Amino acid sequence: MRNFLIRGVAAGAIALLSLTACSQRSEEGTTSAGTTEAAKGFPADSLIGVALPAKTSENWVLAGDLFTDGLKEAGFQSDVQYAGSSTTVADQQSQIQAMVTKGAKVIVIGATDAAQLSTQVEAAKAAGASVIAYDRLIKNTQGVDFYVAYDNFKVGQLQGQALLDGMKAKKPEGPYTIELFSGSSDDNNSAVFFDGAMSVLKPQIDNGTLVVGSGQTDIKQTAIDAWKPENAQRRMDSLLTSTYTSKTLDGVLSPNDTLARAILTSIKGAGKPLPIVTGQDSEVESIKSIMAGEQYSTINKDTRNLVKQTIQMVKDLQAGKQPEINDTKSYDNGVKVVPSYLLEPQIVTKDNAAEAYANDPNLAPLTK
């Protein structure tokens, strides 16, 4: 019996030790390029990973399709993934990890929760991949190389201005009663939109032109968890019962189209006259709504342009060039200022819709 024991242990030990002789452990992960500097470039048919949040907004679905097509056109292999709808963060983490394993050279990340990806981003970095934060800035990590997005502060400003313009057009004289909505608090952009809008609205609130009916002006009060329309609808429902049984609501600041439609649904359900409601993202249903005179405005942040710009960055990285950057100060993710490229958004109302979407095959027909 003792023999058996000894022999067993010996076999294990010998196997272990003899095999240690043939290690091929790499210092920089599995990639042969093995470089953290983008400047050296990489093969033109490399794998590019794109990790996007759950398919809760049309915009992400469209972006995914554009990435798939655009990267293919540019000669890359692509792996475009959406996080699952229930376990978003964990899903995205493992998807990014899988892309690293597969040896992706660039990973484009539209973060689900921008603060919970640092382990994966750093793993990507360690494996020699470049990381581009797409639309949402990834926080608290050195690993992010670039940030590409529409200028979200500007988006907020445009939304605020549109809200004011819309209400004035309807009723020339104030004061106007409004409600404020903001996006999910785990999305870095929510606060930027909100701050942008408030930079326009705050002076008007202070001088009494605008009255926030419920008094809820803090971003924590106005946040809609996970950007979920049902949460927005629920909040609007409660506001209507608590505040607007007798008062008239003139306008609602909504950070995006999905929430705008949820807000409109709620108001319609309560049988109230429709206020001016802003939006963002140019979603099909919202364009229809705008053309029907329900939702007032949306923002055209043409996803095509954003994806195009991102793919351009990937191409530059592949060629070993420094990608084009137009902002090197504004976007601090907590540990570093991320070099960014910002695109200009455009406000769209019923008046300029036909013009704004003339080049969009999906939206153009809706505006006629």
Partner 1 sequence: MSRVKELQKSLFGGTTSNARQFGMIFTLVAIVLLFEILTNGLTLNPGNLISLVSQYSYILILAIGMLMVIVAGHIDLSVGSIAAFVGIVVAKVMQDYSLPWFVAILVGLAVGALIGAWQGFWVAYVGVPAFIVTLAGMMLFRGGNQFIGNANTIPVPEGFRVIGAGFLPEIGPDTGYNNPTLLLGLVACVAIVIREWRGRRTRREMGADVAPMWISVIRVAVPLVVVVFATLQFAGGRVGTSFPVSGIILAVLVVIYSFITRNTAGGRHIYAVGGNARAAELSGVKLKRVNFMVMMNMSILAALAGMIFVARSAASGPQDGIGWELDAIAAVFIGGAAVSGGLGTISGSIVGGLVMAVLNNGLQLLGVGSDRVQIIKGLVLLLAVAFDVYNKKQGRFSVIESLMRPFRRDTPAPASPAEAEQERGKSPVAG
Separation in Å, CA 324 to CA 48, 110, 314: 19, 19, 11
Residue 145 vs 250, nearer CB to partner 1: 145
CB of 111 to partner 1, least distance (A): 10
Rounded distance, CA 246 to CA 313, Å?
Answer: 54
Residue 75 vs 175, nearer CB to partner 1: 75
Q: Confirm if 115 and 84 have CB atoms less than 8 A apart.
A: no
CB of 351 to partner 1, least distance (A): 37
Residue 147 vs 296, nearer CB to partner 1: 147
CB of 310 to partner 1, least distance (A): 19
Label the pairing between strands 106-109 and 130-134.
parallel
Which spans of this chain sit near partner 1 (rule: CB under 8 A)? Answer: 1, 4-5, 8-9, 11-13, 15-16, 19-21, 23-30, 54-55, 79-91, 93-95, 97-98, 100-102, 112-119, 123, 126-127, 139-141, 184-186, 220, 223, 225-226, 334
CB of 333 to partner 1, least distance (A): 11
Residue 19 vs 292, nearer CB to partner 1: 19
Separation in Å, CA 344 to CA 109, 140, 157, 297, 329: 20, 26, 12, 17, 17
Structure tokens at 301: 């942040």
The DSSP-derived string for 277-321 is E---S--HHHHHHHHTTSS-EEEE--HHHHHHHHHHHHHHHHHTP
CB of 113 to partner 1, least distance (A): 5
Give the chain's count of helices (H) and strands (E). 12, 12
CB of 165 to partner 1, least distance (A): 31
In terms of Cα–Cα distance, which of 254, 242, 243, 289 is closest to 268? 289
Residue 17 vs 292, nearer CB to partner 1: 17
Residue 12 vs 175, nearer CB to partner 1: 12
CB of 218 to partner 1, least distance (A): 10
Residue 219 vs 364, nearer CB to partner 1: 219
The DSSP-derived string for 235-251 is HHHHHHHHHTTTSPP-E
Residue 11 vs 284, nearer CB to partner 1: 11
Q: Tokens 């153009």, residue? A: 364
Residues 6+ apart with CB under 8 A from 303: 59, 62, 63, 66
CB of 13 to partner 1, least distance (A): 6
Q: For residue 316, count CB atoms less than 10 angstroms from its CB and return exposed for 0-12, middle for 13-18, buried for 19 or more.
A: middle
